[in-house]
């Protein structure tokens, strides 16, 4: 499993440097930044001996671009029971269990220092993780949140269960969307249900073969509907 840390619109270079440092502490190197501030001295000072992680980081203008090629997208949040997060929220330890033994690219998203990830960003994550913090003050500094997640994932073993790529899942969901049209599924429920399906498939960690089988079922269903 290849792990990418994706910081979504971080505001302070100090935090980016600090994230780079803890990545190197735990042996991770792939840092992806979506619309970061300009990276100058502060980022390097906080990165300390991990300025190579900063030098090699990749910068994107949109989250979509940053997520290309990912097999699993993991969102982090400090909130519970958000309307948009229609999914069981798992712990860092459970994330480890989900990832262990799989193969592919996992992108872990960390949101803005003030407001975190937007609901629409969380909605497109396959898995949502919450660090078990105090209810009195749940919001962690972003580099501390990265610290916990990477501590849990530091020695995850990779095996060879080829999990489905994000494209495969997208195609599967498009297929469902078409089916929804065919069966006149209520319009106002459509997007929420698709988000729910994405989550279910995300938590399940679908393999490529399973996606093919599910699409086969959809194809046969459509065929049957149109034959009537």
Contact string (CB under 8 A) for a second copy, positions 27-46, x = contact:
x------------------x
Among positions 49, 58, 192, 219, the unique one binding a second copy when judged by CB under 8 A: 49
Is residue 195 part of the contact set for a second copy (CB under 8 A)?
no
CB < 8 Å & 24+ apart, contacts of 222-226: 222/178, 222/179, 222/182, 225/182, 225/183, 226/182
Which residues 6+ apart lie within 8 Å of 189 measured at CB? none
Is residue 48 part of the contact set for a second copy (CB under 8 A)?
yes
Q: Which is nearer to a second copy, 73 or 74 (CB)?
A: 74
Tell me the number of residues near a second copy by CB under 8 A. Answer: 28
CA distance 47 to 169: 36
Sheet strands side by side (includes 105-110): 58-60, 30-34, 2-8, 105-110, 72-76, 127-129
Among positions 7, 9, 16, 21, the unique one binding a second copy when judged by CB under 8 A: 21
Query: Residue 47 Cβ, how far from a second copy at the closest point, in Å?
Result: 10
Query: Residue 144 Cβ, how far from a second copy at the closest point, in Å?
Result: 5
Q: How many CB atoms sit inside 10 A of residue 12's CB? A: 17
Q: Which is nearer to a second copy, 27 or 69 (CB)?
A: 27
Is residue 141 part of the contact set for a second copy (CB under 8 A)?
yes
Element (H, E) at 192: helix 187-204
For a second copy, the binding residues (CB under 8 A) are 18, 21-22, 24-27, 46, 48-50, 131-134, 136-141, 143-144, 147-148, 151, 154-155
């Amino acid at each position: 499993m290849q792990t990418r840390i994706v910081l979504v619109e971080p505001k302070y270079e100090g935090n980016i440097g600090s994230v780079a440092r803890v990545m190197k502490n735990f042996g991770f190197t792939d840092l992806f930044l979506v619309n970061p501030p300009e990276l100058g001295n502060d980022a390097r000072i906080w990165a300390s001996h991990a300025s190579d992680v900063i030098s090699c980081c990749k910068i994107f203008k949109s989250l979509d671009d940053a997520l290309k090629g990912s097999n699993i997208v993991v969102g982090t949040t400090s909130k519970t029971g958000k309307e948009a997060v229609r999914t069981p929220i798992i712990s860092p330890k459970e994330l480890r269990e989900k990832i262990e033994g799989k193969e592919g690219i996992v992108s872990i998203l960390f949101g803005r220092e003030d407001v975190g990830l937007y609901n629409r960003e969380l909605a497109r994550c396959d898995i949502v993780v919450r660090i078990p913090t105090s209810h009195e003050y749940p919001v962690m500094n972003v580099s501390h949140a990265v610290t916990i997640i990477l501590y849990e994932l530091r020695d995850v073993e990779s095996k060879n269960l080829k999990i489905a790529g994000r494209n495969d899942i997208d195609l599967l969901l498009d297929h469902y969307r078409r089916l929804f049209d065919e069966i006149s599924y209520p319009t106002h429920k459509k997007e929420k249900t698709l988000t729910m399906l994405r989550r279910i498939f995300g938590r399940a960690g679908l393999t490529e073969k399973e996606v093919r089988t599910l699409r086969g079922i959809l194809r046969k269903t459509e065929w049957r509907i149109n034959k009537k």
